[in-house]
Amino acid sequence: MSRLLIKGARLLGAEGADLLVEDGLIREVGRVDATGVDTTVDADGLVALPGLVDLHVHLREPGREDAETIATGSAAAAAGGFTAVFAMANTSPVTDTAEAAERVLDLGAACGLTQVVPVGAVTKGLEGVELAELGLMARSRARVRVFSDDGKCVHDARIMRRALEYIKPFGGVISQHAQDPRLADASACCHEGEVSGRLGLPGWPGIAEESIVARDVMLARHTGSRVHIAHVSTAASVEVIRWAKAQGIEVTAEVTPHHLALTTDLLTGYDPVYKVNPPLRPAEDVEALRQALVDGTIDAVATDHAPHARHDKEHAFVDAAFGMLGLETALPVVSELLVRPGLLDWAGVARVMSVNPARIGQLAGQGRPLAAGSPANLTLIDPDRAVTVDAATSRSRSRNNPWHGRTFTGAVVTTVHRGRVTHGTDHQLTPSTATENAL
C-alpha cells in the first residue's frame, strides 16, 4: 500500500498539520518527514475534515440505472467529499432482504469510490403492511442498521411501534419519512400556503410532517428505541424534536441543504426541478432549520440526493418526479450558508456532516478524529474557492440540479477514502519522486 502525505492542512479549520496516510489509516499527524512518501498532496490553506457521511441518498440501482447507478452515484459522492453514503431502499426491487442489501454493499465495494451502506426497508416492498426481514438484514454482511421506507411514511402507528421494538436488540434506527398520507397525499407537491393557493397546486401542509414527528418521538419514548427524522422541513417539527431531546428521548434528525436554502416561492415558475418531497418551505421554516442545525437540535445534514431521468421531470408539475441532486453541492451550500456568515465553524461542519451521521448510522470507520490510528477517510476543502454549479458537468447520471448557475464559496478539493484519493484534480497530486528531483 502506498504512502500518501497531505501537507499543511488546517485540521477542522484550525492549526496546520501534515497527515501521513498508509495502509488506509492515518499514521502520523503533525510535522511529517516526506521521505519514502509516494504521493504528496499540497494542502496549504485547505481545511481537512473527516470524510463526509450522507445518511440519505438515492442511487437508483437496481431498477433505474438510467437515472443513476451505484458507480455514478459513488463518483458524485466522492466529488462531493463523501466517504460514506446510505443508499435508500426504494429501488426496484426494494432493499427489503439480506440478499438485496448485500448486493448493494458489493456493488458499492466493487466501485470503491465511497462506502455505500445499504438502508433496509422497514416494511416489505415499502408497502407499510408487513415488516421486512429486519433481523436478517442486520445479520447479513451488509450489517444494516438504518431502516427506512423513505419515499413513503411508515404511517401505520402499530407497524411503526413494532419496527421500533424489533430493532432494539441490534441497535438499529428507523429513519422516518414523516408524511401523514391522509394530510398530504401522493399528489401533494407544494408547501400549503399562499403560493400553493395561487398556483392551484395540491398543498403539502407542515402539519402532515409535524403530526408524524410528534407521534414518532412518543413511540420512541414508549419503546425506548431510536427514531431518526429524515429531511426535517418545518419549524414546528424542530420544536417537537427539541422538546423530545430535552426529555431524553432517543431522537435524531437530519436536514437537507435544499431545505436550508431554497424557499417555496421558487415554485412560481412551475419548474419541476424544484419539486421535492417534503416540499420547499417558506423563509420562516428555512430560518428555523438553520438555527436548529447550529444549536444541535438537528444532528446532521443529509442530501436526499434524488437523481431522475430527464423525461421523469418533464411532465406537468404535479406529475413530475420528486427530488433533486445534492451530493456534489452539499458542502459548498453549507459553506456558503453557514460557515461564511459565521453560524458554524469547520469543526461544526465536521460534526453535522461526518461525526453525527456516522454515529447515527453506526459506521465505526467514519466520522473519526483526524488522529493517528483513525481510518483515512478525509475531505480537503478550499474554503475560499468559488464554485459555480453547472448541471452539465455533474458526475451524476441525472441533471435535476436546482443549484445550476448558482455560485458558492467553499469547494471540495480532494477526497480520500480508505487511504485512496477518490477525488482531486491532478495538479494537487504530486508524485513524490518528482518533488525530490525538483529539490
Partner 1 sequence: MTRHLISSADLSRQDIEDILATAASMHDLQRREVKKVPTLRGRTVINFFFEDSTRTRSSFEIAGKWMSADTINLSAKGSSTSKGESLRDTAMTIDAMAVDALVIRHNASGACHQVAQWVRASVINAGDGTHEHPTQALLDAYTLRTRLDDLEGKHVVIVGDLTHSRVFRSNVITLKKLGARVTVVAPPTLMPSGIGTWSETDGFATSWDLDAVLTADEPVDAIMMLRVQKERMSGGYFPTAREYTVGYGLTRERLEALVRRNPGVLVLHPGPMNRGLEIAADAADAPQSVVLDQVSAGVAVRMAVLYHLLAGDDAASGPLTGSAATGALPASGALASALTTMEGGALR
310 is a contact residue toward partner 1 (CB under 8 A): yes
Residues of this chain, 3-32, that bind partner 1 according to CB under 8 A = none
412 strand-pairing partners: 381
Kindly tell me which of 181 and 365 has the beta carbon lying closer to partner 1: 181
The dihedral formed by the CA atoms of 110, 96, 227 and 58, expressed in degrees to the nearest 10: 50
Instruction: Choose which of 91, 263, 354, 401 interacts with partner 1 (CB under 8 A).
Output: 401
Q: Is 136 in the site for partner 1 (CB under 8 A)?
A: no
Residue of 86, 147, 166, 317 that binds partner 1 (CB under 8 A): 317
59 labelled binding-site residue: yes
Cα distances (angstroms) measured from residue 68 to each of 95, 352, 395: 16, 26, 10
Q: How many residues does the chain have?
A: 439
320 binds partner 1 (CB under 8 A): yes
> Contact with partner 1 (CB under 8 A): which of 124, 359, 404, 420?
404
Residues in contact with 257: Cβ distance below 8 Å, sequence separation at least 6, in sequence order: 301, 303, 326, 329, 330, 333, 334, 337
As measured in angstroms, the least distance from the Cβ of 263 to partner 1 is 14
Burial of 248 per CB tally in 10 Å (0-12, 13-18, 19+): exposed
Counts for the chain of helices (H) and strands (E), in that order:
14, 19
**DSSP structural state of residue 140:** S
Q: Is 404 known as a binding-site position?
A: no
Q: What is the DSSP string of 87-121?
A: E-S-SSS-S-SHHHHHHHHHHHHHH-SSEEEEPBP
* Number of residues forming the site for partner 1 (CB under 8 A): 36
CA distances from 406 to 82, 91, 283, 288 (A): 21, 30, 19, 23
- What nine digits make up the cell of 141? 454482511
- 368-397: which residues touch partner 1 (CB under 8 A)? 391-392
Q: Which residues pair with 123 in a beta bridge?
A: 131
60 is in an annotated binding site: yes
Q: Which residues pair with 47 in a beta bridge?
A: 10, 381
DSSP string, 217-240: HHHHHHHT--EEE-S---HHHHHH
What is the closest distance, in whole angstroms, from the C-beta atom of residue 193 to partner 1 in the complex? 4
304 annotated as belonging to a binding site for a ligand: yes
Nearer to partner 1, 226 or 275 (CB): 275
Strands (E), 146-287: 146-147, 173-176, 190-191, 203-204, 227-229, 251-255
Could you tell me the smallest distance in angstroms from the CB atom of residue 348 to partner 1?
Answer: 32
Nearest alpha carbon to residue 116 among 70, 79, 148, 157: 70
Minimal CA–CA distance to 262: which of 85, 68, 406? 406
- Part in contact with partner 1 (CB under 8 A); list of ranges 48-56, 98-106, 139-147, 269-277: 269-277
Q: Any contact of residue 60 with partner 1 (CB under 8 A)?
A: no
Tell whether 177 is in a known binding site.
Answer: yes
Interacting span for partner 1 (CB under 8 A) from 190-198, 255-263, 345-353, 408-416: 190-198
- Cα–Cα distance measured from residue 260 to residue 211, given in angstroms and rounded to the nearest whole number: 21
Tell me whether residue 304 is one of the annotated catalytic residues: yes
Q: Using the minimum distance from each CB to partner 1, give the nearer residue, 295 or 319.
A: 319
199-238 footprint of partner 1 as x/- string (CB under 8 A): xxx-x-x---------------------------------
324 strand-pairing partners: 305
Q: Which among 304, 319, 384, 390 is annotated as catalytic?
A: 304
| Shortest Å, Cβ 403 to partner 1 | 11
Q: Among residues 273 and 413, whose Cβ is nearest to partner 1? A: 273
Residue 187: CB minimum distance to partner 1, A = 10
Q: Is 90 annotated as a binding residue?
A: yes
Choose, by CB under 8 A, the member of 69, 335, 400, 414 that binds partner 1.
400
Binding residues for substrate, by number, are 58-60, 90, 277, 308, 322-323
Contact residues toward partner 1 (CB under 8 A) are 192-201, 203, 205, 269-273, 310-321, 391-392, 399-401, 404-405
The residues annotated with a catalytic role in the active site are: 304
Binding site for Zn(2+): residue ranges?
56, 58, 150, 177, 231, 304
